[in-house]
């Protein structure tokens, strides 16, 4: 902290007598004038600086209140405390530190009094900006302070801190300060996954949203308790069996220690994924798919922040996994058709089917299989999956077909459904995406040992079957069959603006779908479209599902590329987002205030002159 003290006719800074103010200093006025007025404001090409005389001492600080940028010159000074005129945040005059954490500390700057004149240094710098903003982010996360988080993220980015480093700081905070993986860490990871396709300004917003949701998730929660791996190193098959066993009997401590032992034994990410997927799919479509989605996101988070943090992050998913309620406990999965029994019967055949299909390496029936998965006879759906395996489809191929079919459920979601039904369609899609990503991670090298994981595809297919009513009648998918949509604009910028305009109004589901189709059928850049969809999410106070939908859609589009199937997937994303927009955009306002404060502009000048 800078000390800014006047203690007599000759001023010192840090105990050193200065001969002349440097070029970084600006003249605030005479000491006499300051004594009479009590405060002066220095304007120029720098931030407005407030100079205050209080009981024989001179202080200088940023005139923009760190809360919302209103001028502090209207504030009240009493007993060394400056109280902002607007929302009454209070600051220690000497250090700028706030007594009201929601307002953040106000930056101060050095001041010199020489020959009866008051000079202030016009630059506000930190010796180590990256370390300073790292600490501010830690404070913001600890106290769930949106504005402090926004400024700290902005400050770290401006200081050149890599985006992945910010994600790491927030992820580790989230893992340590909550007893289990939650919505916040899922949102953080989903947004971090799409950072590479975002422009710089959007990256700031994405990191801010991720961090604020992690902070909110941890607020008031009990911190995580450390657990230790076993002292022995059982073989991988035993650890996998044990993990399933502990999941079945809902023994969290045992499951966590087993997983920690696997991590300590340096299981590869693929082996860990195999073990966790096998345990997770002991229950069908657990917690309407969220449990598996969280597991997948924990793996993706480790890809982003580094696998050296596996012991800190991965066990956070175990609590929900062992406690989850499986679909086998629900009537809908048991009657009129026992879907659970259907899955179990098929599982016993998987090893032989994979063995039969091993010779075929070029299976490419993803789209055709997806259409079969959308059928209304569960036995035929299971037969279609078995036939695909026999024909050479690898587990990840099945996952891709399932995810595409689930995207089609969303893309064809009938507008006559209840609004809450969007979430039913969403759950199946994000579950299917997680299945696909996990099976891709597990790989095809040891299919015989991974047969259990394919249960996830079967469970997803049954969840998809049960959601078939969402497409009765189905919404038309625009752009199919060469449809040109010539009534819509043609250039990509106008299409993008029209899409954002559609998201500005409620229930523009079909218009959003048509604009996406128009953009892609004209051959415009899918990346530009994805950036527009991301912007549409990041400007809102989006719900958890909107982030999941966006990220899963981008992932699945990546699997298909700019094809008809890719178009269908982005239409699904746009339709879901349109059904959930607009919101109040309060977070965007916080992010914008922080951005303008950090850039040094004079906010609320009109308020100062009123």
Minimum Å distance from CB 211 to ligand FES? Answer: 22
Residue whose CB is less far from ligand FES, 2 or 86: 86
Q: How far is the CB of 289 from ligand FES (least distance, A)?
A: 42
In the complex, the smallest distance separating the C-beta of residue 100 from ligand FES, rounded to whole angstroms, is: 8
Angle between helices 252-264 and 236-248 (to 10 degrees): 160
The distance of closest approach from Cβ of residue 83 to ligand FES in the complex, given in angstroms and rounded to an integer, is 9
The residues, ordered by sequence, that sit 6+ positions from 459 with a Cβ below 8 Å of its Cβ are 281, 284, 285, 327, 343
Closest approach, Cβ 146 to ligand FES, in A, equals 14
Residue whose CB is less far from ligand FES, 89 or 207: 89
* Nearer CB in complex with ligand FES: 49/536: 49
- Which residue lies nearer to ligand FES by CB, 139 or 176? 139
- Of the candidate spans 84-92, 346-354, 562-570, 586-594, the one that interacts with ligand FES by CB under 6 A turns out to be 84-92
Residue 84 sits in the site that holds ligand FES (CB under 6 A): yes
In whole angstroms, how close is the CB of 84 to ligand FES at the nearest point? 3
* Among 80-88, 435-443, 467-475, 531-539, the segment contacting ligand FES (CB under 6 A): 80-88
Say which residue the tokens 């931030």 belong to. 47
- The least distance separating ligand FES from the CB of residue 597, rounded to whole angstroms, comes to 10
**CB of 229 within 8 A of CB of 238?**
no
Closest CA to 386 of 439, 345, 333: 345
Q: Which stretch binds ligand FES (CB under 6 A): 85-93, 442-450, 451-459, 546-554?
A: 85-93
Out of 89, 147, 272, 517, the only residue in the binding site for ligand FES (CB under 6 A) is: 89
DSSP state of 266: T
Shortest distance in whole angstroms from residue 69 CB to ligand FES: 7
Tokens of 518: 């128009």
Which of these segments, 83-91, 160-168, 260-268, 341-349, binds ligand FES (CB under 6 A)? Answer: 83-91
SS3 sequence of 141-192: HHHCCHHHHHHHHHHHHHCCCCHHHHHHHHHHHHHHCCCCCCHHHHHHHHHH
DSSP 115-138: TTEEEEE-----SSHHHHHHHHHH
Nearest distance, CB of residue 402 and ligand FES, angstroms: 51
Stretch that binds ligand FES, among 65-73, 162-170, 288-296, 299-307 (CB under 6 A): 65-73
Which one of 86-94, 268-276, 470-478, 573-581 is the stretch in contact with ligand FES (CB under 6 A)?
Answer: 86-94
Contact range with ligand FES by CB under 6 A, out of 19-27, 82-90, 182-190, 496-504: 82-90
The CA angle 501-506-510, to the nearest 5 degrees, is: 75
Residue corresponding to tokens 């075929």:
360
Axis-axis angle for helices 183-194, 200-218 (nearest 10) = 170
97, 91 in Cβ contact below 8 A? yes
Q: For residues 89 and 118, which CB has a smaller minimum distance to ligand FES in the complex? A: 89
The residue (of 65 and 538) whose beta carbon lies closer to ligand FES is 65
What letter does residue 121 receive in the DSSP assignment?
E
Identify the residue among 50, 52, 65, 434 touching ligand FES (CB under 6 A). Answer: 65
Among 28, 42, 51, 68, binds ligand FES (CB under 6 A): 68
C-alpha–C-alpha distance, residues 340 and 343, integer Å: 5
Half-sphere exposure of 379 (CA within 13 A, CB side): 3
Looking only at the bridges linking them, the beta strands covering 49-54 and 57-62 are antiparallel
The site that binds ligand FES (CB under 6 A) totals a number of residues, namely: 9
Say how far apart CA 586 and CA 580 lie, in whole Å.
15
Binding positions for ligand FES, 417-436, rule CB under 6 A: none
Which single residue is written with the structure tokens 């098929």?
A: 346
Rounded to whole angstroms, the Cα distance separating 319 from 94 reads: 47
Q: Encoding tokens for residue 416? A: 């006559």
C-alpha 14: how far from chain center: 44
Residue from the set 43, 87, 143, 476 that interacts with ligand FES by CB under 6 A: 87
77/270 with CB nearer ligand FES: 77
Residue closer to ligand FES by CB (options 49, 402) is 49
Single out the residue of 2, 25, 86, 277 in contact with ligand FES (rule: CB under 6 A): 86
- CA-only gyration radius of the chain, Å: 29
Is residue 76 helix, strand or coil?
A: strand
Q: Which is nearer to ligand FES, 67 or 121 (CB)?
A: 67
Give Dmax (Cα) for the chain. 94
Establish if 255 lies at the interface with ligand FES (CB under 6 A): no
Closest approach, Cβ 87 to ligand FES, in A, equals: 3
Binding status of residue 82 toward ligand FES by CB under 6 A: no
Comparison of 3 and 139: residue with beta carbon closer to ligand FES: 139
3-state secondary structure 375-441: CCCHHHHHHHHHHHHHCCCCHHHHHHHHHHHHHHHHHCCCCCCCCCHHHHHHHHHHHHHHHHHHHHH
Among 39, 67, 290, 297, binds ligand FES (CB under 6 A): 67
SS3 42: strand
Q: Does 151 engage in binding with ligand FES (CB under 6 A)?
A: no
Closest separation in Å from C-beta 137 to ligand FES: 21
> What minimum distance in Å lies between the beta carbon of 89 and ligand FES?
4
Q: Enumerate residues 90-109 that contact ligand FES by CB under 6 A.
A: 103
Whole-Å CA distances, 267 to 237, 291, 295, 543: 11, 22, 16, 35
Which is closer to ligand FES, CB of 148 or CB of 546? 148
State which residue, 229 or 608, has the beta carbon closest to ligand FES.
608
In DSSP terms, 13 is beta-bridged to 16
Question: Between residues 67 and 575, which has the closer beta carbon with respect to ligand FES?
Answer: 67
Question: Interface with ligand FES includes 70 (CB under 6 A)?
Answer: yes
What is the Cα–Cα distance from 195 to 549, expressed in whole angstroms? 15
By C-alpha distance, which of 609, 513, 504 is closest to 568? 513
Question: Which residues would be at the binding site for ligand FES (CB under 6 A)?
Answer: 65, 67-68, 70, 84, 86-87, 89, 103
């Amino acid at each position: 902290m800078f000390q800014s003290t006047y203690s007599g006719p000759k001023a010192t800074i840090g105990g050193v007598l200065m001969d002349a103010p440097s070029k970084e200093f600006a003249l605030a006025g005479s000491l006499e004038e300051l004594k009479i007025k009590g405060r002066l404001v220095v304007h120029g090409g720098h931030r407005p600086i407030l100079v205050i005389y209080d009981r024989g001492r001179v202080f200088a600080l940023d005139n923009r209140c760190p809360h919302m940028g209103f001028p502090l010159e209207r504030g009240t000074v009493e007993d060394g405390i400056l109280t902002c005129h607007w929302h009454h945040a209070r600051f220690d005059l000497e250090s700028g530190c706030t007594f009201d954490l929601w307002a953040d500390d106000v930056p101060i700057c050095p001041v010199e009094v020489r020959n009866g004149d008051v000079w202030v240094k016009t630059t506000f710098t930190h010796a180590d900006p990256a370390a300073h903003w790292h600490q501010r982010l830690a404070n913001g996360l600890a106290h769930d302070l949106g504005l402090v988080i926004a400024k700290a993220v902005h400050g770290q980015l401006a200081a050149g801190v890599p985006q992945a480093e910010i994600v790491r700081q927030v992820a580790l905070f989230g893992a340590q300060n909550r007893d289990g993986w939650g919505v916040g860490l899922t949102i953080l990871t989903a947004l971090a996954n799409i950072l590479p396709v975002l422009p710089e300004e959007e990256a700031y917003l994405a990191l801010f949203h991720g961090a604020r949701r992690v902070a909110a998730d941890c607020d008031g929660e009990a911190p995580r308790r450390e657990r230790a791996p076993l002292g022995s190193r059982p073989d991988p098959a035993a650890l996998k069996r044990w993990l399933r066993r502990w999941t079945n009997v809902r023994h969290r401590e045992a499951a966590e220690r087993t997983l920690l032992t696997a991590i300590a034994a340096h299981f590869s990410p693929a082996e860990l994924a195999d073990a966790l997927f096998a345990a997770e799919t002991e229950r069908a479509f657990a917690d309407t798919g969220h449990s598996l989605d969280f597991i997948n996101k924990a793996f993706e988070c480790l890809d982003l922040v580094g696998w050296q943090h596996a012991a800190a992050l991965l066990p956070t998913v175990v609590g929900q996994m062992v406690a989850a309620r499986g679909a086998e406990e629900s009537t809908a999965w048991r009657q009129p058709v026992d879907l659970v029994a259907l899955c179990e019967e098929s599982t016993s055949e998987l090893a032989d089917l994979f063995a039969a299909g091993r010779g075929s390496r070029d299976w490419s029936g993803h789209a055709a299989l997806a259409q079969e998965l959308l059928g209304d006879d569960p036995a035929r759906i299971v037969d279609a999956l078995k036939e695909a395996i026999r024909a050479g489809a690898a587990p990840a191929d099945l996952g891709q077909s399932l995810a595409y079919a689930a995207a089609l459920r969303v893309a064809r979601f009938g507008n006559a459904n209840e609004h809450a039904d969007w979430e039913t369609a969403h759950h199946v899609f994000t579950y299917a995406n997680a299945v696909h990503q996990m099976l891709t991670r597990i790989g095809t090298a040891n299919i015989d040992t991974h047969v259990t994981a394919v249960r996830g595809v079967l469970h997803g297919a049954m969840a998809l079957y049960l959601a078939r009513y969402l497409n009765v009648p189905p919404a038309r998918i625009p752009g199919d069959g060469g449809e040109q949509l010539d009534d819509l604009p043609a250039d990509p910028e106008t299409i993008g603006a029209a899409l954002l305009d559609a998201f500005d109004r409620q229930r523009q589901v079909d218009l959003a779908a048509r604009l996406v189709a128009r953009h892609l059928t004209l051959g415009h850049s899918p990346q530009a479209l994805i950036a527009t969809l991301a912007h549409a999410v990041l400007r809102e106070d989006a719900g958890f599902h909107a982030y999941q939908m966006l990220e899963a859609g981008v992932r699945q589009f990546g699997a298909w590329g700019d094809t008809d199937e890719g178009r269908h997937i982005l239409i699904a994303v746009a339709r879901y987002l349109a059904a959930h927009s607009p919101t109040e955009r309060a977070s965007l306002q916080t992010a914008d205030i922080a951005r303008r404060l950090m850039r040094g502009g004079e906010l609320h000048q009109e308020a100062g002159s009123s």
